[in-house]
Structure 1
Amino acid sequence: MDEFASSRDFLYPMHMYDRIHPFPQFHLLIVDDDEEILFITKRLLERFSIFVIDTACSAQIGLEKLKECRYDVIMSDYEMPVVNGIAFLETIRYRGDTTPFVIHSHKTEAEIKSIHTISEKILFLEKGTEPRCMYDTLIGCINRRLSYE
């Protein structure tokens, strides 16, 4: 439990805190065709109480959700039928969406980069990564975006 108790030890500018919620809430979209991994990942990240999480079991459903809601960060599986995670990223960038993006995969960053030329700096998390590391990576993406706004 200590791992999750320390999740609120991050610092944000005071304007991000409000009187109703003592901590900011961020919208996260998780896209993965493996519904068991989707469920487990969502449950692990919900324990940090900082994410409002939506899930999609395909890139196509993820694109539909992006039409309905603005997300602070997207975490997508790489290996999915029809549209893989890199093609999903390229599609959302083509549409003008600059939401921070993290690839969550059993493949390593080097394996994926050996197959694809990726024109932007994106983060990679291997499946099985500790929840605190996933949290730190996602919050880091959000913080970098907020520092540019």
Structure 2
Amino acid sequence: MPEKPIRVLHVDDQRLWRSTVSDYLTLFGDYEITSAESGEQALDFLRTNPFDIIISDYQMPEMNGIEFLHLVRKRGTSTPFIFLSGIRQEDIEGDAKESGADFYVMKTGDPSVVFSVLSEKIHQAIARYTTVQAVMNTQMEDSVPSSFL
């Protein structure tokens, strides 16, 4: 039985980057990509659609990536989150990690390398999330008295 495609919510205010990410990721795997041009539009998509991962630019008008991530987490969504940005990693990596991002990938460089790394980080973030969810479910099951099962 074939695996389902990975459902990606990609947020970037630049149309060229939205199409580039979509085009390249489909070369690296089975992805179903929904693109949003703003954090607000992405929040609307999150209200009605489940995603396996969120990829967001950091620097966007109106709502930057950190603000967007805070709002995502405030809503109780624990979906894995990756920043894909052109800002130097050392300038924002601390903020990204403190805010709950799983990874940070630079937009700059050879596109085949950038998107290979991004695809790898997507799989790592989803695997980690799946493992954490499985452990949490097991702990919950173990804490339920057998009389309730």
TM class by smaller structure? 0.7 to 0.9
**Alignment match of 1:46 (pick from 10, 14, 26):** 26
1:97 paired with 2:77, answer: yes
Counterpart position of 2:121: 137
Q: Which has the larger radius of gyration?
A: 2
CA root-mean-square deviation: 1.8
Query: Where is the helix percentage greater, Structure 1 or Structure 2?
Result: 2
After superposition, the Cα gap between the structure-2 partners of 1:35 and 1:120, relative to the gap in structure 1 and judged at 3 Å, is same
Deviations 1:28-72 (A, max 9, x none): 000000000110111100123421110001000000000111111
Please, which runs of 5 or more residues in structure 1 have no aligned partner?
Answer: 1-18
**Alignment match of 1:85 (pick from 65, 81, 97):** 65
Q: TM-score, normalised by structure 2?
A: 0.79
1:29 paired with 2:9, answer: yes
Q: TM-score, normalised by structure 1?
A: 0.79
**Alignment match of 2:47 (pick from 47, 67, 70):** 67
One-letter code aligned to 1:132: S
Structure 1 runs, 4 residues or longer, greater than 3 Å off = 113-117
Please, which runs of 5 or more residues in structure 2 have no aligned partner?
Answer: 134-149
Comparing 22-31 and 93-102, the one that deviates more? 22-31
